[in-house]
Amino acid sequence: MNNRTVNKLISVVSLIILIYIISVSAEESSSQWIEKGRDFHNASQYDDAIDCYEEAIALEPENEAAWFDKGLALKKEGKYDEAINAFNKAIEIDPQDADSWATKGSVLNDQGKYDEAIQDCDKAIELDSQNNYAWIHKGFAFYRQGKYDEAIRSYDKAIEIDPQYAEAWRYKGFVLDDQGKYDEAIRSYDKAIELDPQDIDSWNGELNIIAGRKGKIGDALTLCNRALEMNPESSTLLYYKGEILYCLGDYEEALTYYNKALEIELDPTAYYDKGLVLQKLKRNEEAAIALSKANELGFEPGNYLNICPCGERISSTNCDSSAASSGLISSTLEENETRKSMISSTS
């Protein structure tokens, strides 16, 4: 082999090595951008996360993880069409990735495209029958279509795969609630809460059944207090306790909890109820301000859910509910008075 041939061979080998080094460097750099994007995502800084994923894609256009993570961030921002495009690209790169199919299905659910969502979830299940995320979102699509039995079967499958999956228990509770199977729904919510005590939606679902469906307002107050022990900064639970206290006729205490909820989140319904309780307390000027604020924030009476089963708020004189007839209201009011006197004596 002459020198010219040897030099040519060395040049070719060197070029191959250089290309390999460059490709490895790009892969490392794209991975670094993805990790940085995930840090932003976990901090709910989705715009910054998307910027990082796009940097990763610029370095490595066929990086499936970058496209997938970009889709997740776009979903969080409610940019559903763009999220679908990102997941489609991830699927184009790796058609066998069940997670991409399942997560795309979840976005289609967000868009109300339930038949398409079911198709994509079925594709995910075909690739990975143990993908409980796909079963969850298939169940949700059935739920929104009013196909409750199919939804329950999907959630049961997700639970069979992972009995510790709190979200599956919660969604199953929603369906059972809508079917009027309240005791079964409560058991599902209880299991979700056992697995995830910070699952506010499950607490709220169970409270709605106990207070709104069964009229057991005293029991609801006990449950709400337990929920708040575990989630003291939940504006939803603080508001709900205000609702229960309003139902019980304890207007001053209800006002306290509406104000606590509003310190955390400016919710129009909380302002509306604050206005109503201020009217009960004959503080009409303050009531007008609260009601005006509710309208300013977009309160819509048509979306208002009153938890009293008879259509009016419960007091010991205006509602013949199971709570009133069982003496729960009077005993709870006595407990409130006792607690307030204890507070005043120690302050």
Give residue-wise pLDDT tens across range 224-249: 999 999 999 999 999 999 999 998 89
Which single residue is written with the structure tokens 């559903």? 80
The pLDDT of 57-65, averaged and rounded, is: 93
Half-sphere exposure in the Cβ direction for 88 (13 Å, CA):
7
- The H or E element that residue 67 is part of is helix 64-76
pLDDT the model gives residue 2 = 53
**By percentage, how much of the chain surpasses pLDDT 70?**
78
Separate counts of helices (H) and strands (E) for the chain: 18, 0
- The larger pLDDT score, comparing residue 254 to residue 12, is at 254
d(CA 173, CA 155): 10
The architecture in CATH of the region 230-347 reads Alpha Horseshoe (1.25)
d(CA 90, CA 71): 9
What's the Cα-to-Cα distance from 254 to each of 57, 203, 227, 238, 240, rounded to whole Å? 53, 19, 17, 9, 9
Are 189 and 170 within 8 A, CB to CB? yes
Mean pLDDT of the chain: 83
- The H or E element that residue 114 is part of is helix 114-127
Residue 332 has pLDDT above 50, yes or no: no
pLDDT the model gives residue 28 = 58
Q: What band does 302 get if pLDDT is binned at 50, 70 and 90?
A: low
d(CA 15, CA 104): 41
Are 50 and 35 within 8 A, CB to CB? no
Residues 6+ apart with CB under 8 A from 53: 33, 34, 37, 66, 67, 69, 70, 73
Task: Report how far apart the first and last C-alpha atoms of the chain are (Å, whole number).
Answer: 99
Residue 291 has pLDDT above 70, yes or no: yes
Residue 162 zone, left/alpha/beta (φ > 0; ψ -120 to 50; rest): beta
pLDDT the model gives residue 264 = 96
d(CA 118, CA 126): 12
Residue 22 has pLDDT above 50, yes or no: no
> What sign has the CA pseudo-torsion 146, 148, 152, 153?
negative
d(CA 164, CA 75): 25
Residues 6+ apart with CB under 8 A from 26: 59, 60
Q: What band does 314 get if pLDDT is binned at 50, 70 and 90?
A: very low
249: helix, coil or strand?
coil
Please give the distance of CA 62 from its chain centroid, rounded to a whole number. Answer: 32
What's the Cα-to-Cα distance from 230 to each of 33, 47, 189, 234, rounded to whole Å? 37, 32, 15, 9
Pick from 226, 179, 176, 171: which is nearest to 201 by CA? 171
pLDDT the model gives residue 3 = 54
Q: What band does 18 get if pLDDT is binned at 50, 70 and 90?
A: very low
pLDDT the model gives residue 330 = 29
